[in-house]
Chain A
Amino acid sequence: MDTAFFLRWIATVTERVRAERDHLTDLDRAIGDADHGSNLDRGFTAVEEALVTTSPATPADVLTTTGTTLIRKVGGASGPLYGTLFRTLGRSIGDVAEVSPEALADAFADALGAIMKLGSAAEGDKTMIDALAPAVPALKVSFDAAAQAARDGARATTEMRARKGRASYLGERSVGHQDPGATSMAIVIDSLRAA
């Protein structure tokens, strides 16, 4: 996978976040503060511009620019968390022109660790981690398997009680709603298939 692959991946994520913007915001309205879709859309729109202006030369450049832009533009919890995802992927992949599937899977494992540390969250807390964590081992199999695992993981958050972020204040009342962060994470991972 080369620089063009990663540019296509981010472009797909941008497109799909835009398309799913209202859906993500609706999910967030139920258990949060109704801005997840609009915040991510704003962030990825800024990423789109940044990738044009900086014309990154390597896969790591694409990922680091994406992460840094998200941290700078999104705000909220999702800004630093998604920013950390892409920045860690970039750092982990390193300065190479081609990324092997194994290296990408390893980078995703690093990113999972970084997000868990930053958010002090674990699997089962009803967060983006519930979509990302099951996708990481599945990445060693295929993008299709990873996408499936992420979607299933996101869907499984419906029955969970939130223990992190704003939804946690609802306690039991957070049960019955799919987590917006896990849903957007599933979109990010699913977009690998289209890249």
Chain B
Amino acid sequence: MKKLINAVGDVVPDTLRGMAAAHPSLRVDVENRIVVRASGPTPGKVGLVSGGGSGHEPLHAGFVGYGMLDAACPGEVFTSPVPDQMIEATKAVDGGAGVLHIVKNYTGDVLNFEMAAELCAEEGVHVISVLVDDDVAVQDSTYTAGRRGTGATLFVEKMAGALAEQGAPLEAVAAMARTVNERSRSFGVAFSAGTVPAAGKPTFDLGPAEIELGIGIHGEPGRSREPYREAREIVRVALDALNTDLPFSGDMLVMVNGMGATPLMELYLAYGEVDAYLREKGATATRCLVGNYVTSLDMAGFSITTCLLDNELTILWDHPVETPGLRWGR
């Protein structure tokens, strides 16, 4: 394993120290692993808290700032944070209007956030939790832990964050978060697995001519293993799955997201294929993101996340945002 790290056990705190040094707009509590806006809670504004395993950067800490999150709780690599972090973060960002927890649907994240929300309620903080479960690769929700929360988390954080910034009450911000989730879908493909520093070797092995379809973002394998083929066809497999689940139409927001070890060149190449496919279906990508936003360490591969826009969502997407990972209009 060749990784730019000092010691396996220090990866998360060392990363947080770097983020703190790079971004004075963040207040980073390295010991307790909480990242909040340096400006403190905004009185009367709903606070947005998210969190999850580390290794998905810039998600979530990179999305703390004006127009998105108020706090992020980074866990160990690929391991959900613990309730203590979430409770501290929730109290730190409560501006009196309540706090929204944005939770990716992974068993660990769900259980820890659930415990945190109960304890916050006991302490008198009004918390609503919204689950993100956009991953269409999980077909059978009855016999699984349900669809995973992946790329749409960014959309939820962005649009609910914009609404909160405009002074909307907690119930409305939570409803918007649910709406964005319902209108969003994701599908991921891996060319090679990432390596968790503590494990020292890749989470799964893929042959030189194999790809893994329907991966999640925690390094777990996906729904099937298939032969490698050209970009046009791989992108089509992903888009067919998305379009079957929630047909493309009208104005759409599309993210072509790198998993960590795929060049931006290839992501743009893929985006060209996505754009052509949407046109074929009579839909238009009126907004897009191409880059590494919801990563999985050094996994090679990509994911596509789509969202059916309407006027309100487009306005919320365009609303100014100023975070380390996403920034426009300000």
Query: How big is the B interface, by class?
Result: 35 or more
Tell me whether A32 and B220 are in contact in the complex, defined as CB-CB below 8 angstroms, given that A71-B83, A169-B138, A169-B148 are known contacts: yes
Once bound together, how far apart are the Cα atoms of A163 and B138, in whole Å?
Answer: 12
* A154-192 interface code vs B (CB 8 A; 1 in, 0 out): 000000011111111111010000000000000000000
Q: Is the interface of A mostly helix, strand, loop or mixed?
A: helix
Collect the chain A residues with CB atoms within 8 Å of residue B144's CB: 162-164, 168-169, 171
Interface size on A (CB < 8 Å)?
34
Once bound together, how far apart are the Cα atoms of A66 and B216, in whole Å?
Answer: 32
Collect the chain A residues with CB atoms within 8 Å of residue B26's CB: none
Q: How far is the CB of B253 from chain A (nearest CB, A)?
A: 25
From B79, B81, B111, give the contact of A118 (CB < 8 A).
B111
From A73, A118, A164, A165, give the contact of B82 (CB < 8 A).
A73
Tell whether, in the assembled complex, residue A171 and residue B199 are in contact, meaning their CB atoms are under 8 Å apart. Answer: no
Which residue on chain B has the smallest CB distance to residue A41?
B198
Q: How far is the CB of B7 from chain A (nearest CB, A)?
A: 13
From A72, A81, A165, A169, give the contact of B83 (CB < 8 A).
A72
Tell whether, in the assembled complex, residue A166 and residue B75 are in contact, meaning their CB atoms are under 8 Å apart. Answer: no
Instruction: Indicate the member of A25, A29, A81, A162 with the most B CB atoms within 10 Å.
Output: A29
Q: How far is the CB of A49 from chain B (nearest CB, A)?
A: 15
Which residue on chain A has the smallest CB distance to residue B78?
A33
Tell whether, in the assembled complex, residue B199 and residue A168 are in contact, meaning their CB atoms are under 8 Å apart. Answer: no
A34 close to chain B: CB less than 8 A: yes
Collect the chain A residues with CB atoms within 8 Å of residue B106's CB: 166
Collect the chain A residues with CB atoms within 8 Å of residue B108's CB: 75-80
**Chain B residues proximal to chain A, CB less than 8 Å:** 53, 75-84, 106-108, 111-112, 114-115, 137-138, 140, 143-145, 148, 196, 198-199, 201, 203-204, 216, 218-223
**Chain A residues proximal to chain B, CB less than 8 Å:** 25, 29, 32-35, 38-39, 42, 71-81, 118-119, 161-171, 173
